Amino acid sequence: MPVSRISLRRGHTAAYLDALSAGLHQALVERFEVPADDRFQLIQQFDPAEMRFDRHYLGGPRSDDWVLIEITAGRPRSADTKRAFYRRLAELLALSPGLAPADLMVVIRHNALEDWSFADGHASMLP
């Protein structure tokens, strides 16, 4: 039940955005214990002046193709699960759309079941 936000520089093709979306979803299913039909993503594009980031902090060098993926997930995953997810995501996005692993940053946040309402004004995850 994660919700993912993909933030990147404006100007990429629809095919590039599709590849980011597909790679993220595949990695979530394969390594983050997410069902295949659980796909909620927002892609947000910014003008170059609206993205400020350090090109070398804890990685890099980062290029103008830097992508930030923020994931809000209900239930926590183990550190090993997260490590496997990060690796698989970097592998998949390097294959398509060709994102350099140094240009990928991921932040995962967790919240409680009562924090989710998927529709109709119901606390969807509570009995």
101 labelled catalytic = no
pLDDT of residue 125: 81
Q: What percent of the chain lies above the pLDDT cut of 90?
A: 84
- The chain-wide mean pLDDT, for the chain, equals 95
Q: Which of residues 6 and 75 earns the better pLDDT score?
A: 6
- pTM for the whole thing? 0.93
Give the pLDDT mean for 84-96.
Answer: 98
Contacts of 43 by beta carbon, 8 Å cutoff, 6+ apart: 5, 6, 8, 17, 20, 21
pLDDT for the residue 107: 98
How does pLDDT run across 51-80, given as a tens digit for each residue? 999 999 999 999 999 999 999 998 899 999
Cα 115 to Cα 14, 84, 86: the distances in Å are: 32, 26, 25
* Helical spans, DSSP H, in 10-75: 14-31
Is the pLDDT at 22 greater than 90? The verdict is: yes
Model confidence pLDDT, tens digit, residues 31-53: 999 999 999 999 999 999 999 99
CATH architecture for segment(s) 3-115: 2-Layer Sandwich (3.30)
